[in-house]
Amino acid sequence: MFAITVRDHVMIAHSFSGEVFGPAQRLHGATYVVDATFRRAELDPDGIVVDIGLATSELGEVLGGLNYRNLDEEPEFAGVNTSTEFLAKVIADRLADRVRAGALGANAAGLSGLTVTLHESHVAWASYERDL
């Protein structure tokens, strides 16, 4: 399996509901380093997994919709704990939509999977992996 990873970051604010979250129940900020890994079994006709420039650009576009937002105020996240794991899935699903729409080029149709990892710090991160 071949893979390439592109990286960006996003800054959000949010709070959590539930005793398990302790002080994170209060409004707080988070800056995540975000990795998006694209996979395929065979290289495309150009000898690549996917165009790295397009992958980087599309990741930036997806993150732009979340950047500098208080997620508690976003209607689509009403009543949801926007945990690191949850956000990894949101970002992966939005990237998958862009792959299907052709934003990463026609050869991206041969991608088989995508993993999005959000790094909370140098010692903690969460991922979501999905098929394409």
Q: Detail the DSSP E strand segments found in 15-90.
A: 28-40, 69-70
- How much is the pLDDT for 126? 98
The closest of 38, 56, 54 to 113, measured between CA atoms, is 38
In angstroms, the CA 118 to CA 66 distance is 13
Q: For the chain, how far is it from start to end, CA to CA, in angstroms?
A: 14
Rounded CA Rg of the chain = 16
For the chain, domains (ranges, CATH) are 2-131 (3.30.479.10)
pLDDT in tens, the chain (132 residues): 999 999 999 999 999 999 999 999 999 999 999 999 999 999 999 999 999 999 999 999 999 999 999 999 999 999 999 999 999 999 999 999 999 999 999 999 999 999 999 999 999 999 999 999
